[in-house]
């Protein structure tokens, strides 16, 4: 049995190392930094740094290395020793971290977020993105059903504006105020109507929401999305 040349394996070491650094940076930002700043666009913040671009190039360059490595392993009928196996495992672990949905981290830290200064923002973000599992976790850990952001929006405002029926149903079933008004006097049903989410309008009306004309501010941005929107991290 012939042995795989060492340079096939060693070429993957820097790619795996940089990918591991990227994974660590993402975990740090999606936990520690997110707790302090609220929902954020994590990947963009990394790319804005000079090192961030290098880390992402290494991550995707690792795909090419992995393909070459697997072909070489078949050709030489050997996995390239322990070093090769370790490099593959490190790279795959890093790739797994990068592809982990943002909602996982929010649910992972739900108990911490529920006690933090950005509890309402996290609840609105989960509602606006239709992440019912994360929203439920936040509520279970003490976030108020009608938690409000500075503009007076509640999670139900966000879910209704985005047309996220599962989040709407979760909130209404748990007893959210269907007639809660934000600082402009708009209840959730007005946001749903302005965004033309007719199914949400009917559902809210069937559960006690009073008809409401959208405010001038809401009409001006009709179709502009939820009252609070945090950018996606990936």
pLDDT band of 2, cuts 50, 70, 90: low
Neighbour count for residue 115 (Cβ, 10 Å): 12
SS3 (DSSP) at 225: coil
What's the pLDDT score for residue 231? 32
pLDDT digits (tens, 9 = 90+) for 83-122: 888 999 999 999 999 999 888 999 999 999 999 999 999 9
| Cα-to-chain-centroid distance, residue 52 | 19
**Cα 149 from Cα 229, distance rounded (Å):** 11
Q: Tell me the average pLDDT across 67-89.
A: 86
**Cα 94 from Cα 173, distance rounded (Å):** 39
pLDDT digits (tens, 9 = 90+) for 150-160: 999 999 999 99
CB 214 within 8 A of CB 194: yes
Cβ-based burial of 56 (10 A; exposed 0-12, middle 13-18, buried ≥19): middle
Q: Which of 191, 131, 194 is nearest to 164 (CA)?
A: 131
Alpha helices in the chain (DSSP H): 6-10, 12-28, 34-37, 42-47, 50-76, 81-98, 102-108, 110-115, 119-128, 132-140, 155-162, 165-173, 188-194, 198-206, 216-220
pLDDT digits (tens, 9 = 90+) for 217-234: 898 876 444 433 333 333
The listed range with the strongest mean pLDDT (6-15, 57-66, 163-172) is 163-172
Neighbour count for residue 55 (Cβ, 10 Å): 22
**Cα 166 from Cα 233, distance rounded (Å):** 22
pLDDT digits (tens, 9 = 90+) for 119-139: 999 999 999 999 999 999 999
pLDDT band of 197, cuts 50, 70, 90: very high
| Six-digit token string for 61 | 């360059």
SS3 (DSSP) at 217: helix
For the chain, the distance separating the N- and C-terminal CA atoms, rounded to the nearest angstrom, is 44
At residue 27, does pLDDT exceed 80? Answer: yes
Q: Which residues contact 147 (CB under 8 A, 6 or more apart)?
A: 119, 120, 123, 124, 154, 155
What's the pLDDT score for residue 229? 32
At residue 30, does pLDDT exceed 70? Answer: yes
Rg of the chain in Å (alpha carbons): 23
């Amino acid at each position: 049995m012939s042995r795989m040349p060492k340079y096939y394996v060693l070429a993957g070491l820097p790619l795996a190392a940089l990918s591991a650094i990227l994974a660590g940076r993402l975990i740090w930002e999606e936990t520690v930094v997110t707790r302090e700043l609220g929902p954020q666009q994590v990947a963009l913040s990394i790319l804005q740094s000079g090192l961030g671009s290098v880390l992402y190039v290494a991550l995707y360059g690792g795909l090419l290395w992995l393909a070459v490595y697997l072909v070489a392993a078949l050709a030489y009928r050997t996995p390239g020793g322990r070093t090769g196996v370790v490099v593959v495992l490190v790279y795959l672990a890093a790739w797994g971290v990068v592809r982990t949905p943002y909602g996982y981290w929010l649910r992972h830290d739900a108990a911490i977020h529920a006690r933090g200064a950005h509890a309402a923002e996290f609840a609105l973000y989960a509602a606006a993105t239709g992440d019912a599992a994360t929203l439920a976790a936040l509520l279970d850990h003490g976030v108020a059903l009608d938690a409000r952001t500075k503009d007076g929006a509640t999670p139900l405002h966000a879910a209704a504006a985005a047309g996220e029926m599962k989040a709407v149903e979760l909130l209404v079933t748990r007893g959210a105020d269907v007639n809660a008004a934000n600082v402009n006097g708009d209840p959730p049903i007005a946001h749903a109507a302005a965004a033309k989410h007719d199914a949400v309008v009917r559902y809210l009306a069937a559960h006690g929401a009073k008809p409401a004309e959208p405010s001038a501010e809401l009409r001006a941005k009709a179709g502009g999305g939820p009252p609070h929107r945090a950018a996606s991290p990936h």
